[in-house]
Amino acid sequence: MLSMRKPRQLQNGAHYHVSARANRQEMILRQDSCKELFLDVVRRAKKKFPFRIENFCVMENHFHFIIQPQRSVSLSAVMQWIMSVFAMAWNRKHGLTGHVWGQRFFSRVIQSMRDFLQVLEYIDRNPVLGGLVATPVDWPYGGCLHRSQSNWDILDP
């Protein structure tokens, strides 16, 4: 018997905590150049689709966003584009084919300002909890450093 996956909870104007992990939990983003490639794809997506990113963190085998699709754009359309364009570029860079990402991306609606702030802090602390840096502002692939430098190429002010 086939199991049906749960439909995504979607709300117009909502903020979402979104995350996706590499296939087989491989460290596809370990190299700085691969993290930069991923962020370049996100920058391209921001020119193609109307959405806001309130926070982000790119780790070695996964990423997190607080994302808010605008107007009539679909969260799934934005994420499918980011993940598939990155996968094609990553495979091309490494001379590989096949899946780059594991299961479909995780998403949940952020329900309140308190929830928003908890997710924001969780995303900022991810590289600290992963033992990669001492403080969130030390991680070059996260929103904390970008906010501290008023760098709005990925984040929205």
Question: Could you tell me if residue 87 is inside a domain?
Answer: yes
Question: Could you tell me if residue 10 is inside a domain?
Answer: no
Question: Could you tell me if residue 9 is inside a domain?
Answer: no
Specify the pTM: 0.91
φ, ψ for residue 43, nearest 5 deg: -60, -40
Question: Could you tell me if residue 130 is inside a domain?
Answer: yes
Question: Could you tell me if residue 112 is inside a domain?
Answer: yes
Alpha helices of 4-142 — where are they, by DSSP H? 32-48, 75-94, 113-129
The continuous run of DSSP H or E covering 107 comes out as strand 106-109
Which residues constitute the domain of residue 78? Answer: 16-148
| 27 close to 130: Cβ distance less than 8 angstroms | no
Question: Could you tell me if residue 72 is inside a domain?
Answer: yes
CATH number reported for the structural domain that contains residue 59 in this entry: 3.30.70.1290
Residues 6+ apart with CB under 8 A from 69: 16, 49, 50, 51, 75, 78
Total of domains in the chain: 1
| Residues 78-129 pLDDT 10s | 999 999 999 999 889 888 888 888 888 999 999 999 999 999 999 999 999 9
